[in-house]
Chain A
Amino acid sequence: MYSRTYKTLVAVPPLLWVGVFLLLPYALMFAHGFWLVRDGFLVHQWNVQNYRALFTNPLYLQVFLRTARIAASVTLCSLLLGYPLAYYLSFHAGPRKEFLYQLVIIPLWVSYLVRGYAWKTILGSDGVLNGFLQYLHITREPVSFFLYSPFAVILVLTHIYTPFVFLPIYAALEHIPRPLVEASQDLGANRSATFLRVILPLSIPGLLAGAAFAFVLSLGDFLAPLLVGGPSATMIANIVQSLFGAAYDWPLGAAISVCILLITISLLFATERLEKRWSFK
């Protein structure tokens, strides 16, 4: 029922914009990965040096592995916090459900920076936590290892991504028809059996979506390490960021970015396939 003119009018502007400001920049990033810097100048000479460096220099692999470890920890922690919360809200919160749901959503709207900063003031050696511990006479000297460690990075990122993980899980749980739960009980399954055999399997697409989100976003994070991580928690995106800054090697930075991009896209692709396998519609 929509005319050609209509379709053209709505399709062309976003296509153009996305082509120029999204596709072209990504293409440029790919291109940069195959260029190099000589004497502080970018040289448009095609080569695979950057990628060779990536795979031969153990430093990069080490940072990559640390980043993956941190991202996996964040994902796991967010799931451990987010899933029970979503389950509680969906099945046991009763009339307070809507209110509690909003309460989980609110932090989503609160600045990343504000939340990262708040943790900094809590974890610091003269921070709130140390003050609290000394006030209770649990410790006498300020404890310095709270801040500037992989632990701090994991804590902050978990704090940021728990609501993100919560959302798709909650949506999946809400979509489970309640008669199924009743049918399971009717057939003699107790609460834990019903959870394990009906609710958990049906919520897996939401769980996967949440996990993918937390993992991918943690993987490319460079702000939390800068804010609370310190040198022992340097992540791959920090390397990229310094290559684009002081170290001035855009091609190498672009090559790493391309790797992050490819890992991200293949992860999302894999999750999508898995989600489809676990959705019964």
Chain B
Amino acid sequence: MRDTKFTSRSPLLAAYSTLVFAFIYLPIVVLILYSFNRDGVGGFPPRHFTLDWYRQLFSDSAIWDSVVNSLIVAAASVAMSLTLGLLAALALDRANFPGKVLFRRLVLLPLILPGIITGLSLLMFAVFAGMQLSLFTVFLGHGTALISVATTEIFAGLQKLDRAQEEASLDLGATPWQTFWRVTLPNLKLSLIAAGLLIFTLSMDEIAVTFFLIGRDNTLPLEIWGRLRRGITPEINAISALIFSVSVALIVVWYRLRARTMRSSPR
């Protein structure tokens, strides 16, 4: 199959694809390159290498406060949306209840809706419920919106899980509770990790929903956003380059984990 004419090289398409890749990566490369440029953002070519912007960044306490805030929100969102996403996926897979179709669509809606809708509706809810805008409201926003990611990912995992696995467990004398912990969850491990990592990064990066729910304490993207309004500085390049590296590191971790899990159970 691999040797048929159809899968052979086609230079024009290859060249076009290379250009698309260039387009996708150009901004990221520029960003990282200029984070080491002494003369700051802009100008061509970048001339003098420096680590000054990183030094400045590391002594910038406002940035690091916002990083801590983001980490707190992201961790809480992961815990929240994984728990509810797991339950929602189980319910969608196994239970029949009135309004199930509506429920499925509703859960998935934030995934496809522009962030402004989710953000604003929760803002109105917060005001209606008399809540102060704070990191907690941001967490509510992230957690609720990202249940969609967890549900999709875990539901896909459940579909791959052979029902006979759980039946075998019950058959061998395990109670439903034991079966859940010993068979269902271990089989969903990969989906749970994938969803967790995805939710974590999405929450760390989230800005459209956060925009409307933020109180006095900024998350990292909002801190950057605030600075951008005041003009661009190479310091932002530096933090962006760091964010990029962490994202890539997370992806690598994820693929390693997946490869290892796949190897130990090829099916």
A and B co-occur in one complex: yes
Known: A28-B128, A88-B17. A113 touches B87 (CB 8 A): no
How far, in angstroms, from A146 to B18 measured CA to CA in the complex? 24
Check B117 against A114 for contact (C-beta < 8 Å): no
How far, in angstroms, from A107 to B20 measured CA to CA in the complex? 13
Known: A103-B21, A220-B115. A134 touches B123 (CB 8 A): no
**Chain B minimum-CB-distance residue to A124:** B42
A223 partner, pick from B6, B167, B207, B247, beta carbons under 8 A? B207
B124 partner, pick from A100, A191, A227, A250, beta carbons under 8 A? A250
Inter-chain contacts of B114 with A (CB < 8 A): 216-217, 219-221, 237, 260, 264
Nearest-CB distance from A256 to chain B (Å)? 10
**Chain B minimum-CB-distance residue to A24:** B125
> Residue-by-residue, is A251-281 near B (CB-CB < 8 Å gives 1, otherwise 0)?
0011001001100100010000000000000
Is the C-beta of B187 less than 8 angstroms from some C-beta in chain A?
no
Check B248 against A106 for contact (C-beta < 8 Å): yes
Known: A89-B17, A227-B228. A135 touches B45 (CB 8 A): yes
Check B205 against A112 for contact (C-beta < 8 Å): yes
Check B176 against A18 for contact (C-beta < 8 Å): no
Which of A47-55, A57-65, A115-123, A167-175 sits within the interface? A115-123
Is the C-beta of B113 less than 8 angstroms from some C-beta in chain A?
yes
Inter-chain contacts of A227 with B (CB < 8 A): 228
Check A10 against B31 for contact (C-beta < 8 Å): no
Is the C-beta of A126 less than 8 angstroms from some C-beta in chain B?
yes
Check A2 against B31 for contact (C-beta < 8 Å): no
> Residue-by-residue, is B229-262 near A (CB-CB < 8 Å gives 1, otherwise 0)?
0001000110010011001101100010000000
Inter-chain contacts of A246 with B (CB < 8 A): none
How far, in angstroms, from A121 to B232 measured CA to CA in the complex? 8
> Residue-by-residue, is A197-234 near B (CB-CB < 8 Å gives 1, otherwise 0)?
00000000000000001001101111100010000000
Check A264 against B121 for contact (C-beta < 8 Å): no
Known: A244-B212, A268-B112. A126 touches B97 (CB 8 A): no
Is the C-beta of B224 less than 8 angstroms from some C-beta in chain A?
yes
Helix, strand, loop or mixed for chain A's interface? helix
Inter-chain contacts of B207 with A (CB < 8 A): 112-113, 223
Check A260 against B117 for contact (C-beta < 8 Å): yes
Which residues, 57 to 91 on B, are CB-close (under 8 Å) to A?
A: 84-85, 87-88, 90-91
B31 partner, pick from A8, A114, A130, A261, beta carbons under 8 A? A114
Nearest-CB distance from A238 to chain B (Å)? 10
A92 partner, pick from B1, B10, B45, B167, beta carbons under 8 A? B10
How far, in angstroms, from A115 to B125 measured CA to CA in the complex? 31
Inter-chain contacts of B110 with A (CB < 8 A): 22
Check A94 against B27 for contact (C-beta < 8 Å): no
**Chain A minimum-CB-distance residue to B126:** A25
Check A132 against B44 for contact (C-beta < 8 Å): yes
Check B6 against A181 for contact (C-beta < 8 Å): yes
Check A2 against B243 for contact (C-beta < 8 Å): no
Check A10 against B95 for contact (C-beta < 8 Å): yes
Known: A1-B167, A110-B247. A88 touches B1 (CB 8 A): no
> Residue-by-residue, is B212-237 near A (CB-CB < 8 Å gives 1, otherwise 0)?
10000000010011001000100011
Is the C-beta of A178 less than 8 angstroms from some C-beta in chain B?
yes
How far, in angstroms, from A159 to B13 measured CA to CA in the complex? 19
Is the C-beta of A46 less than 8 angstroms from some C-beta in chain B?
no
Is the C-beta of B161 less than 8 angstroms from some C-beta in chain A?
no
- Give 30 CB contacts A-B under 8 Å: A6-B176, A17-B147, A22-B106, A22-B109, A24-B125, A26-B121, A28-B124, A94-B7, A106-B251, A109-B251, A111-B240, A113-B205, A113-B221, A114-B240, A120-B228, A126-B43, A127-B42, A128-B34, A128-B41, A131-B42, A159-B27, A182-B6, A185-B5, A185-B6, A220-B113, A223-B211, A237-B114, A244-B123, A244-B212, A264-B117
| Smallest CB-CB A-B distances: 8 pairs | A220-B114, A131-B44, A118-B27, A25-B121, A7-B95, A14-B88, A11-B91, A111-B205
Residues of B within 8 A of A (CB): 1-2, 4-10, 13-14, 16-17, 20-21, 23-28, 30-31, 34, 41-45, 84-85, 87-88, 90-91, 94-97, 103, 106-107, 109-110, 112-117, 120-125, 128, 140, 144, 147, 163, 166-167, 170, 176, 201, 204-205, 207-208, 211-212, 221, 224-225, 228, 232, 236-237, 240, 243-244, 247-248, 250-251, 255
Q: A18-B88, A89-B17, A120-B228 are in contact. List 7 more A-B contacts (CB 8 A).
A: A85-B21, A100-B21, A105-B251, A114-B240, A131-B42, A191-B5, A240-B116
